[in-house]
Amino acid sequence: MKDRRVIVKVPASTANLGPGFDTLGMALSLYGWIEMSIPESGETTFAFYGDGMDSLPRDKSNLLFKVAQLVFQEAGVSVPELAISMYSDVPLARGLGSSASAIVGALVAANELIGSPLSKHKLFQIATELEGHPDNVGASLFGGIVVSAWDGSEAHYARIEPHERLETLVAIPAFQLATEKARHALPSTVSMADAVFNVGRSSLLVAALASGELELIRHAMKDRLHQPYRAALIPGMAEILERAADYGALGAALSGAGPTLIAFVDGASGEKKAALAEFLKSTLAKEGIQAETLWLSPCSSGAEATVEEWDGSASGGARLTLMDRIKGEVRA
Ligand code: HSE
């Protein structure tokens, strides 16, 4: 274990997909990387690369460190000191599952570091408990489209392979929105009519994604449980959800708790792609919101670990940093 180094590549995710509040998630082709090893110095160290990482704690209160310790505890082993590095292309607090990807990456890395005693099912349970809902963590862990249900003690899931023509366009506003704030905007009870509305749309959406009937997404990607209440937090959102289909989208939704908006597109109908991106950007700009648009594919694979045994002789005796190892793969 001492000379073992684990690098986990973990995808971002979009949650809810409109009607599937706290239930549906899909992994996206935007990634973070977490490296874990036993420090040669015997002291815990952190190296963070990328935007927004400066504010992360570099002591044992760090989330990645604490998550790793949960794995060790569960497995009954003691690994008191860790060397942890992270780089992520997943923007923080934008509704693309940055915290879920960090949690999943740390769980998988810690588990691999000690020889994988915990099953993926167990890691899913721990991740769900930590996040408080299974949608983002399920997608980051298993990849593809993940349908999950959690009763507060056990999470179950089924995975759907994304259709090969399914593509997504995300508009990522420049501002952050804390999930907690976006959850506070929600009512504590809803009407039977709204519940029935969502059960129908969510069920139809899952069936459409599973059967490949992409045209049904247009009728299914509608929600009355969370998006209407969150609309005030994201000016321009209501117009985008209502009119994205006019620009060729199969459907559009708030990504997770927002503020990112996501449009689903049939990749075979390419002609309106630029117009859709322009519509999303300009609708947000009208409200004074700068946004970056990105075309992302559904990502079929979940968190993937590479394990390296280090004998001190590789690279002339010097270890490559995480950034050296992943350059060429990162967006920056
Ligand atoms: N399902 C969660 C929500 C996702 O919408 O609050 C948060 O990332």
CATH code assigned at 222: 3.30.70.890
| Predicted pLDDT of residue 106 | 98
Q: Which residue has the tokens 């952190």?
A: 46
Local structure of 58: helix, strand or coil:
coil
The reply to whether 153 and 203 lie within a common domain is no
Q: Which residue has the tokens 């490949």?
A: 212
Q: Is residue 30 part of a domain?
A: yes
- Distance, CA of 175 to chain centre: 18
Q: How far is the CA of 35 from the centre of ligand 1 (A)?
A: 26
* DSSP β-ladder status, 45-49 and 83-88: parallel
What HEC string does 216-269 produce?
HHHHHCCCCCCHHHHHHHCCCHHHHHHHHHHHCCCEEEECCCCCCEEEEEECCC
Q: Is residue 308 part of a domain?
A: yes
| Predicted pLDDT of residue 59 | 92
Q: How far is the CA of 66 from the centre of ligand 1 (A)?
A: 22
Q: Which residue has the tokens 């971002």?
A: 12
| Predicted pLDDT of residue 56 | 87
What HEC string does 101-146 produce?
HHHHHHHHHHHHHCCCCCCHHHHHHHHHHHHCCCHHHHHHHHCCEE
Q: How far is CA 124 from CA 17, 30, 66, 141, 259, in A?
A: 20, 20, 16, 7, 25
Contact 198, 253 (CB under 8 A): no
What torsion, rounded to 10 degrees, do the Cα atoms 261, 267, 270, 272 define?
-20
Closest by alpha carbon to 136, among 170, 94, 167? Answer: 94
The domain tally of the chain equals: 2
Q: Is residue 245 part of a domain?
A: yes
Half-sphere exposure (CA, 13 Å, Cβ side) for 112?
24
Q: How far is the CA of 128 from the centre of ligand 1 (A)?
A: 12
Q: Which of these ranges, 15-29, 201-215, 294-308, 313-327, has the smallest mean pLDDT?
A: 313-327
Q: Which CATH number is 146's domain given?
A: 3.30.230.10
Q: Is residue 257 within 6 Å of ligand 1 at its C-beta? A: yes
Q: Is residue 131 within 6 Å of ligand 1 at its C-beta? A: no
Q: Is residue 94 within 6 Å of ligand 1 at its C-beta? A: no
| Predicted pLDDT of residue 53 | 80
The reply to whether 253 and 231 lie within a common domain is yes
Q: Is residue 104 part of a domain?
A: yes
Half-sphere exposure (CA, 13 Å, Cβ side) for 138?
27
The residue whose C-alpha atom lies closest to atom 6 belonging to ligand 1 is 257
Q: Which pLDDT band, with edges at 50, 70 and 90, does 51 fall under? A: confident
Q: Is residue 181 within 6 Å of ligand 1 at its C-beta? A: no
Closest by alpha carbon to 204, among 215, 217, 195, 192? Answer: 217
Which residues 6+ apart lie within 8 Å of 91 measured at CB? 51, 52, 98, 172
The reply to whether 251 and 145 lie within a common domain is no
Q: Is residue 230 within 6 Å of ligand 1 at its C-beta? A: no
Q: Which tokens go with 47?
A: 């190296």
The reply to whether 123 and 157 lie within a common domain is yes
Q: Is residue 331 part of a domain?
A: no
Q: Which tokens go with 123?
A: 């890691």
**Helix H or strand E segment including 28:** strand 24-37
The reply to whether 85 and 131 lie within a common domain is yes
Q: Is residue 66 within 6 Å of ligand 1 at its C-beta? A: no
Contact 173, 281 (CB under 8 A): no
The reply to whether 182 and 149 lie within a common domain is no
Query: What average pLDDT does the structure give for the chain?
Result: 94
Q: How far is the CA of 152 from the centre of ligand 1 (A)?
A: 15
Give the ligand 1 atom nearest the CA of 100. Answer: 8
Q: Is residue 223 within 6 Å of ligand 1 at its C-beta? A: no
Q: Is residue 256 within 6 Å of ligand 1 at its C-beta? A: yes
Per DSSP, the residues of 65-111 read: HHHHHHHHHHHT------EEEEEE-S-TTSSS-HHHHHHHHHHHHHH
Give the ligand 1 atom nearest the CA of 257. Answer: 5
High-pLDDT (> 90) share of the chain, %: 86
The reply to whether 108 and 243 lie within a common domain is no
The reply to whether 125 and 64 lie within a common domain is yes
Q: 10 Å Cβ neighbour count for 136?
A: 34
The reply to whether 143 and 190 lie within a common domain is no
Q: Is residue 16 within 6 Å of ligand 1 at its C-beta? A: yes
Q: How far is the CA of 124 from the centre of ligand 1 (A)?
A: 16
Q: Give the separation between CA 242 and CA 220, rounded to whole angstroms.
A: 13
Structural domain for 88, as ranges: 3-161+299-326
Q: Is the pLDDT of residue 319 over 90?
A: no
Q: Is residue 111 part of a domain?
A: yes
Q: Is residue 309 part of a domain?
A: yes
Give the ligand 1 atom nearest the CA of 256. Answer: 4
The reply to whether 9 and 137 lie within a common domain is yes
Per-residue pLDDT reduced to its tens digit, 96-111:
999 999 999 999 999 9
Closest by alpha carbon to 162, among 282, 34, 64, 25? Answer: 25
Q: Is residue 82 within 6 Å of ligand 1 at its C-beta? A: no
Q: Is residue 332 part of a domain?
A: no
Q: Is residue 13 within 6 Å of ligand 1 at its C-beta? A: no
The best mutation among 131, 179, 260 to test binding of ligand 1, ranked by most ligand atoms within 8 Å of the C-beta, falls on 179
Mean pLDDT across the stretch 298-325? 81
The reply to whether 149 and 175 lie within a common domain is no
The reply to whether 141 and 178 lie within a common domain is no
Mean pLDDT across the stretch 121-127? 98
Q: Is the pLDDT of residue 315 over 60?
A: no
High-pLDDT (> 70) share of the chain, %: 96
